Structure 1
Amino acid sequence: MDKARIANLSHQSLLARLWVTLPAATLMAAVCLLPAPAGAQMDQEAGRQRNGTEVLDLPLSGPAYAIAREAYAAYDAKDYATAIAKVREAIRQRPDVDSLKVLLLEAIEASGQLQEAEREAQKLLAEGNRSPQIIHQMSRIKSALAQKAAESVYAALEKNDFEVAISQAQEAVRLNPDQNTFRHLLILAQLRARRFAEAETSASDALASDSEDAIAATFRAVSRLNESNGQNKQQAIADFERALAQDRIAETEKNEIRLIAADYLIAIGEFARAENVLSDFSGDRKQKDARIARIAEHKRSHSSLPSSVSRVPVPKLECRETPYDSVCFILPGLPGADAGFPAAAEAYQAASTGNYSLAIAKIREAIRLSPENEDYRTAEKNMLAAQKAGVSFGGPAAVAAGQAYDLQRRGDFAGAIRHAREAVALAPRQQQLRALLVNLLISAGREAEAIREINTTFAQLGTDAQLLQQRGYLLLQANEPARAVDDFANALPLVKSPSERRTLLLAMADAATAADQPERALDALSLLGTSGSFDVAYRRGNILRGLERYDEALAAFTQAVTSAPTAEDRARAKAAQISAYVSLGQQSVARQLFETAKQTGELNALPALDVAYLALRVGDPVAASQQFTLVQKRGELRGLALVDAAYAARQVFDNDLAVELLKSAIDTIGPTLEPQYLWGLRREVADLTRTWGAYTSVTYGAVGSGAFSPQTSSGSTTQTGTEIYWRPPVIGNRNGSTLDFFMRNFTTLHDDLGGPVGFRTMQGSFGVRWKPLQNYNVIVEAARLFRIGSDSREDTMVRAAYFDGRGGDLRMDVPSWWLWQVSGEVGHYFDIDQTFATLDAKLGRSFRLDSISDRLMITPFVGVTANFDNLLDTKWAAGAGPGINARYWFREDKYNAPRSYVDLNVQYRFKLLEDDRAQGLFASLTLAY
């Protein structure tokens, strides 16, 4: 069997291993091993918390925490025995932490004990551990075991050990029943063993799994004809027609099926049908002509020879692994089931012992008996070359290569690589030996050496399509996508198989996308046509979205939805389609599609985190928060997703959850964040947790206190004022909309016009203040003034205020920054019928005084102020001038940005409009707590 062309049927080939990701255990360590926040440590004996019917893992702490850390460290060091022992002890102490059980499964699997890993996973599932991580790990283990079983099938078929081949293929199907390539392998083994009834049943099972499986339909036709010795014609013919009717296989693959069908139709005397099948054949003319000649010969001799079915070679499979999937197709004639096989077997045996004269004689006998078997003709050429050069079939290079293959099967890649290098040194012109060495280097994780070996091969022997593709995949893995695109493009003209060409074009599009070459990626996809392929449409949509060609992206994603082969693919395409509507500004359409997809379950196959972000994008914070919470309960919420989940919780008014998530983000990723971003998270925690506050101030100036105390003098005054406010839980802060209840008092300390001062002027008030809008600083307020001093009074006041600005808070990323602020208010006192209004604008540059304290900022500024009071003779006044502000922030902790400050503000204003009260010195000293 040609080992270079017949590959293992699995998803973990040499190429596919280039894309193996880090173990889930390593990624989960951040969640499992982080201690609880300060002040919120969980009791080590507390077990698990319950929230409804959900059970949440508590953070690890104490001895279990220490042991788990040792387990992860041993795993990362590839000391799997220690990791297994440590994690078993950690599980004994904390059996509620699913991530530890996942680590146990990964460590057992990494140690090579796949069957033990399966038994352990089965045990966990039997005990009721149904977490998605454990179920996913079980699936991975079964896939690996299925791959191992498939490799054993090929080894057994090479030795004609059909019983072992069949049992191993059945095991692969049991472990991975969704992978039809394993079913194909089982059918092949059963046909080779001439167990045709079983092969027919297996083919029917494959068609039940995938009704469009052309390979299974062809195999079933062959099984039926062999089982009935050519009598079960109609069902077999229907299966051949079914295989050839499939649109998803390439024309080249259909040509191979036509040859197989023609061989069997000729054997059962269905010459007209055979001619009809061959009329559509568009491949090698010689193959078609040979069969037409056989039909003519049978017609001349009036012979149908129904019993000759047994002499038709059983079809063979040719498969090649890619990072995307197994690419397999069926071909006529497999050595071992045709008339020439006994002679061929003797030929191979003779060649392996160096008896080339006998080997060549026997292989020529095999060719005479099976003239259509191209493998025998190839073997003849190789044996003639071996006779001349002494390298194939038992030469030292072949011996070294054989040792490399043996060591590879045992997992000894270092030894296999040594023998492969020896084989290359012995036969440096043998391309296959170079390919063997490259594949071994890749399997051993020595990608850089593999690239160097490919470069050397190209320099010495010229380029090769398969090695070009391998180097492209290696470069893509090494984050050199631009070079990978060039390799894929250079390999394209050398690839003839439509299936392989399709895979190559998809890889080229992916590499071009990664290299930020979108037009080149679109060009690669255009060569695949617009036949409705999901792989093409989905990639095209993503590229067009990146180019902001949203109309075209929407069309591509819509096509991807209709052509998606699996529920997961459909869910991904549906999410992309919904996002495209958002990008086009059609938010209501996107929201409706999202709601419909949720109700129909179209998005169920997406990870909950993806659904959460999609919900945020369409403006459904309730759904987003639900999905984030689901991810959190699974222990999978980490990184910046914690922050996004916190803001989603805030949008649905769950401030406690938002604070919990923000604190977790500060704990886990705080040190990695930009300083100002981290400051913003801490500021958010401070705002969400505030339930009360107080202000006290002393002000001096001519305009008076306006909104908070009715104007008592037209001259300059010094006043002191205090406010205490309460922000009730739940209703007090609803996603940036706040509600405060307050009490105030103001007292005039000095009046340069001789007005009343002291306790007699103390004015009290209480009221409510509401900020109704999330994103705009609009405030409405109602207050009742009550008498304290003899010169105070009773009244009712309402006001509305607006504020906007940037730069008022501390900056941690730069030492200085611009500040601008604009504010205005209008209000009315009912009993004295006073209407007032103020407008204030300020522009300045703030500096952080790090030499004194990095919490102290000083801001020189220029400000403009206007004031209106209907009770004054001159109702309007306006002034402008320079000023300086100093503010010191304090009262902070790990999670809260400073919640209090002392503020000193001094400004001199020049009169701009009418009244002298707009000019002069203005100053204030404020403590905000």
Structure 2
Amino acid sequence: MKTTLLSTVIAIALATATAPVLAQADAPLPLSGAAYRIAEQAFAAYERGDYPAAYQQSSEAIRLRPDVVRLRLLQIYALQKLGRGAEAQQRARRALDAGMKDPALPALAAAVPKTTTGAARSAALPRASATAADRNSRQAYLLATEAYAAYDAGQMGIAASKAEQAFRQQPKQGAWALLWVAALEAQQQPEQADVAISTALQLGAPNVEELRARRVVLTRQRALLLAQQAYRSLSAGDDAAAIGHARDAVKLAPEVASYRLLLITAQLQGDQLADAEHSADQALQVDANDLNARVMRGYLRQRQGSTLRANEDFDAALATPGSTAQQRNVRLLAVDAALAAGDRVRAAALLAPLQAPVPADEKDARAQLLLQQGIEQRAKAISSSRALPRISAEAYPAPVQHCQSGDSSNVCELMPADLQGDGGAAQRAYAAYARRDYADAIGEARQAVQLAPEDVNLQGLLTTALAAGNRVQQDEARQRLDAALAQHPDDAGALMQRGYLNQKAREPARALADFHAAEATGKAPKSVVLDQAYASAANGDHPQAVTLLRSAIDRADAGELPLDEHQRYNVRNAIANYSREWGVIASAGFRGARQAATNVGGAAISTPGDSVFSTLEAFWRPPAFNDQHGTLELYARLLNTLYDEGGTYESIRAVDPCTGESTPDARARAERLSHSRSTTGWPSTIASFGMRYAFGQTGLSAGIERRQFLGSATRQGEVYPASAAVQCRLQLALNPPLEASTLARYRLASGSGGWMSYLTYGYYHGTDLRTDVNQWWMVSGYAQGGYTWDDNGASFTLDALDANGTPVRRVGEANGRLHREQWFAAGELRAGRSFRFGSGQTHWVVTPYVVIGADWLDQRSRVRDLRYPLLPSQSFALNDSQRSWSLGAGPGVGVRYWFREDHYNTPRSYLDLTVQYRFAIGGGDTQRAKGLFATAILYY
């Protein structure tokens, strides 16, 4: 990062270094071409004492560039050396009449012509006087003459001293004050020159406006010197000194945008992102149209994770008028910001206008090639499904500053790092890393290190590139960091980087130790407290993680830790998740009535009614078992039926199990119809006590539970043998000939129960509350498979029924065992768009979606060891043994309200209502797959 950043600052320094220290506010353009060549010859002639040649060549240079004051002065001094004082005085007056400004010109124009070469300005002295005032005046003029002579000879220290003495004796001589100031400026002593101006004004110098104007120019010169010092400090790696010099330059010349950009650059290189953003804020307050400051602020905001505010800056920059190339560069930088935020949709939308064919520019074929490659690389990154790396200077490099000297100041444009041309292996490595081509980045970084093995920045680049590679390359990066830290154990950056690698390697204890060590150096970023918190959570210490995250909120409140609204929300959300040790889930599900079942083989036609089922669960997460590997939950659950409308059944035919013959039910239809309703309330309750374990971030969980049949209705029911032969045998043995209808029932003991084990995979994207946007995509789904079984002792009864189906006489009783088992699988997938509606930070979310659901059941029931009197032990399967599956799909809508939030926690509870209507699209049991479904859930 620093290598790239310094290369951009060099451009600024080279541009500013071309300006002379004594530059005026209206300094002419630099000499070039023939004028430059002739001027060099003139100065060289003067230096070697060839004054005729110096005069002739300076005159020719003035003809080409009459606006350059130093050429005029050279001509005047050459005339003086030639003894042509009157002509020199005339040339000085012409220069003043042309509007030229220099401290020496007024004195040269007023001087009495010299009669001999090199004579002092003694002719400018007044006649001798007998009074003390005249003697003082004469002394002052002598000092001034010596000061001018010293200035002409380049002896600026003597000139400044004698000019000061002369002016203090004659404070009405404003030209001497200017000479004093000019001599100090020539020695690059701007602070002393500023003091001299203040002194001159206090002593009553008459040329107040000139001195004040000189102070303005001097202030700019001081700012320029400070900017150059800032550059030198950046080159030396002294970020703190560079920031100080750049800040002082901005204070002296707040209107110069290049100094503000230099300050932002220095703070960015010093990893002072929040301060750099503040400097960009101030730059925009001075000039709201400062495009560079706005783009840099967008970059800085994205580097700090403030995506929404970064997008605002880039959108505003794109709306600012500019050249085609400038707008193209801003758009590419906005694409890079969107990719850094993981928003591939926004990145694609921003890149789309650039994917049209670009007219070829024969003058800059190399730039066209780089541009086309940059567009293609970004398109590739957008279409890639590879996880984006942590935002860093390497993964998201700063814009490159391309600066050149303008009419009045330096003009800088920003562009992506990969468009600045071929800067060697190092630059290619940075560009490859930025586009997530880590294999290429590692190769280029290795080449760069081979060329400059002593370059610390390149060594760091290679380590960073390796850290983004595969497991073997990450191990190499850790080894390099170990070696670097063995030599410099207080390198906070290396400690932080090794901590991140340890987290990737699922070694949170070592990561936490690195983060603590980085903090102890005093050089770690303020956000290290967040890294410590997440490492503590991965290490299983959720209470410590919560403590650290709460302290981060407190520091943000105090202004010590910069957190934007989105970052603060993420921290609060982590607190809510890590601090949860228990919870309660209450749900109610509605299943709408289905169509009547088709009569097959003499079975009764059934018309089910509406029903409502409920679940109440409480869970606890033992802190000692929750870490990076997974989360353990112990839970207790109650299930029952709240409401059942019941169903109507019509008897169509009677089937003799012995002969297989069926006879129509000759009764009137009213007598053939019967209505039954499932037991509701507590008698239908089943309790479960179990545990489940979620495996880290895989989405997989496994559980096992004990099911207890609490309600009386769950321990009794009817039994029908599946085999007609068994039905016939029991009927012949137990039924008197006149009793054609019987009812067999079972009853379990009060302590009866069973078991269930299951494996679940869940995927949930966009199901949490978001406050950074008002709408977002939602995709959620699960797939579950499991096995339930119970085997309990039971008492069985056989009762004779009358014509109305009412038991009238006990035919027989027996004891035995009832064994039931079921394999099951179910899955559901929802996809929709969530809308957070209302004003402000409302917690109401509505989600229309489409859903597809499927299930599969393999159910088997069997009676064992049944002993009726006069019959041997019986074992037989029951007729509820079956295997079926169903598949349905349809539209749905969900409404969710989030609540229970505070200063440290995001909403921890919600009330959710979903309604959907499914159409059967497959399966043997289509009735199970279609109809109205509704669910209400309270998660507390």
Tell me which protein shows more helix as a share of its residues.
1
Tell me which protein shows more strand as a share of its residues.
2
Higher alpha-carbon Rg = 2
